[in-house]
Amino acid sequence: MTHDIHLHHITRVEGHGNLVLNIKEGRIEELRLEIVESPRFFEVMLLGRHITEAPHITSRICGICAISHTLASIKACESALNITPSADVILLRKILMHAEVLQSHILHLYLLVAPDFFNVGSVIPLARSNPEVVKRGLRLKKVANEICRILVGRHIHPIGMTVGGFMRIPAKKDLEEVRKVLESAIPDIDETVNFFKGLNIPEFNRETRYCSLKDKGDYALYDGKLYSKENDLTEVEQYRDFITESVIEYSTAKHASSGDSSIMVGALARLNNNYSQLSDKAKEAAQRLGLTLPCTNPYMNNVAQLVESVHCIYDSLGLLDQLSSGNMNVGVGRIDVREGLGVGVVEAPRGSLYHEYGVDDKGIIKSANCIIPTAQNLANIEEDIEALVPGILGLSKVEMIQRLEMLVRAYDPCISCSSHFLEVKFIE
């Protein structure tokens, strides 16, 4: 039997990609995950700009992960300029990272993933059949947006964070409001765990290299060293020893590898590497959801995202308790520019996000490099599909396509802004 599957524009992913799969006599003859977005050239845009502008420019790389890009950029700037932020600044940044991870995961789980489990094409029919489910997702997403609004003005392209600290010091009542908003989310996140507990996740396992930050104390989202169980802990400045990027002819996004292996980044990779550092409530959620670690089923990335969402809510409440009780020290001090090279890495919702800038003695950017999580997962997705296909050849065409799309979607790829439609070419 011959299958020629051309998923032209994979639906319900963030951006624009095609899957080309040609199967003959049960063997894959051709397999390509094509990323056909236009290159964005952000690194080139940074050249010649002052380093303090970089966080505001690179925030525009993504409307979903704007906090992550801003913070990876700020950390790269602070490393280049030898600036050490205060403990309160770091605590507030961690709360903001949690808010972004929460909003991104919830958006993915409720608006993009949930329709698969109800066998409907999108959130619209889901809103008709199960409005309470969609409303719950929107309420949780609003929680994260509110936290960002209170602390940094807005979630998309935040304006309150900058190199060295915050442009506005949150008042006591702001922090009380953040706490209230977080506490209001607890019943909904608990119900979300109940909801996803009942859904049937496809069974498929393939071992790969799970890469993420790893920190001494925290479950690493804001800071740490580069880690996979095959590698020693690597300082972020040595990231080129840890991860290699390569150009692929059919894709406008680069592929990535570590050593001789493709890699997986994101929620499941982080849980595999750092499970013991999760908050107790998140561990309890993992148990309720039937997630045992280490886990090699990429479909379980969705469950891992939910476990992290629980962690982000409870851990944020703990971080609020750690902030100074008196006047917080989060203002921006004097910034002295100097020649240097800085690397900043955070765990964005979809995985490790790298920014690196070289600056001259006037603070002008002379070199820039950004490595985005989705690009790191692409080679791994292709290898997953290669391993998955022999086991699903017995399914109907419709089921086979759905299983493949669900796999790509489980990685929550954020390709770039674009329109979507599904055109399937399936020749026997």
Partner 1 sequence: MSDDRLLILGLGNVLMGDDGIGIHIINELKKLNLPDSIDVIDGGTPGIELIDMLSTYRNVILVDAIKYWKGDSAGIKVVLPDDIRYREDDDYSAHDIELTSVLRLMRTLDLAMPEIKIIGMPAYNISPAIGISEECKRFIPEAIEFIMEISGSKIKNDFMHSENA
Within 403-422, the residues that bind partner 1 by CB under 8 A are: 417-422
Q: Interface residues for partner 1 in 93-112 (CB under 8 A)?
A: 107-108, 111-112
259 binds partner 1 (CB under 8 A): no
116 binds partner 1 (CB under 8 A): no
Q: Of 14 and 384, which CB lies nearer to partner 1 in the complex structure?
A: 14
The minimum distance between CB 310 and partner 1, in angstroms, equals: 21
Q: Rounded to the nearest 10 degrees, how much is the dihedral formed by the CA atoms of 114, 6, 37, 105? A: 10
Minimum distance of partner 1 from residue 416's CB (angstroms): 8
Q: With CB under 8 A as the contact rule, which of the stretches 7-15, 191-199, 357-365, 389-397 interacts with partner 1?
A: 7-15
Q: Which of 83, 97, 101, 134 touches partner 1 by CB under 8 A?
A: 134
State yes or no: residue 372 binds partner 1 (CB under 8 A). Answer: no
Stretch that binds partner 1, among 10-18, 19-27, 72-80, 206-214 (CB under 8 A): 10-18
Of 3, 7, 15, 271, the one binding partner 1 (CB under 8 A) is 15
Q: Minimum CB separation from partner 1 for residue 15, in Å?
A: 6
Question: In Å, what is the CA distance from 2 to each residue of 29, 286, 384, 389?
Answer: 10, 40, 20, 13
**Intra-chain end-to-end CA distance of the chain, in Å:** 7
- Number of helices followed by number of strands (H, E) in the chain: 15, 16
Tokens of 181: 């908003």
According to DSSP, residue 203 is labeled P
Q: For the window 144-183, what string marks contact with partner 1 as x by the rule CB under 8 A?
A: -x---------xx---------------------------
Among 39, 125, 290, 390, binds partner 1 (CB under 8 A): 125
Sheet containing 2-8, strands listed edge to edge, beginning at the edge strand earlier in sequence: 27-35, 17-24, 2-8, 423-427
Burial state string for 286-301 with b = 16 or more CB within 10 A and e = fewer than 16: bebbebebebebbbbb
For strand 231-234 and strand 225-228, is the pairing parallel, antiparallel, or unpaired?
antiparallel
Those residues whose C-beta lies under 8 Å from the C-beta of residue 281, and which sit 6 or more positions away, are 310, 311, 314
Cα distance between residue 361 and residue 241, in whole Å:
27
For partner 1, give the closer residue by CB, 47 or 159: 159
Sheet holding 351-359, edge to edge: 340-348, 351-359, 365-371
| Residue ranges in contact with partner 1 by CB under 8 A | 11-15, 63, 107-108, 111-112, 120-125, 127-128, 131, 134-135, 138, 141-142, 145, 155-156, 417-422
